[in-house]
Homo-oligomer: A and B are copies of this chain.
Amino acid sequence: MNDETVKGLLRKAGLKVTNQRMMVLDIIASHPAEHLTAEEIYDLAKVNSPEIGLATIYRTVQVLLDLHVIDKVTFDDGFTRYELNGEESASGHRHHHAICTGCGKVYSLESDLLDSLEEEVMEKLGFLVTNHEVKLYGLCSECRKKNEKKEVMNREEREK
């Protein structure tokens, strides 16, 4: 989805194409996989437009959410984050996230392996799935290595 497409969506919705709106969109688009918070978007926006207000960021992400241009994500750290909607994936479904409980790093996954789960829900509950959100919590390879080292150290400590 490019700027022009979004401009079209804005107009179709009877909304105006403003510098602030396009700037927020571009900031989110140019930081893929970074899951920016409103405050982070605000700080980046201020670099080129120091007069912009934080309220504008909040109002703009709401507009972009309504247009399904972006999606909301949270990783239980008290912040709402925003990312481009993965509309490319025919299904319209969002991608998944793997969150490391060790270092907090977030990995984005593209796999769409929930089809069988969604079919099951349709059959058993008559529930039609239109979107999903998957978060995997665990340890990334780096943190697993660190943990192993720590365990070795603890063992040596104990065996003293």
Contact = CB atoms under 8 A, between A and B. Distances in A.
- State the majority secondary structure of interface residues on A: strand
Contact of A125 (B117, B125, B130, B140): B140
Interface string A112-145: 0110111011000111111111111111110010
Which of the listed residues A72, A130, A134, A135 has the most CB atoms from chain B within 10 Å of its own CB?
A: A134
Report how many copies the assembly holds. 2
A129 B125 contact: no
Contacts of A144: 126, 128
Contacts of A128: 138-139, 144
A68 to B, nearest CB: 12
A-side interface size class: 35 or more
A156 B100 CA distance: 53
25 contacts: A96-B117, A98-B121, A98-B127, A111-B120, A113-B120, A114-B136, A117-B134, A125-B140, A125-B141, A126-B144, A127-B136, A127-B138, A128-B138, A128-B139, A128-B144, A129-B138, A130-B138, A130-B139, A131-B137, A132-B135, A132-B136, A133-B134, A133-B137, A134-B134, A134-B135
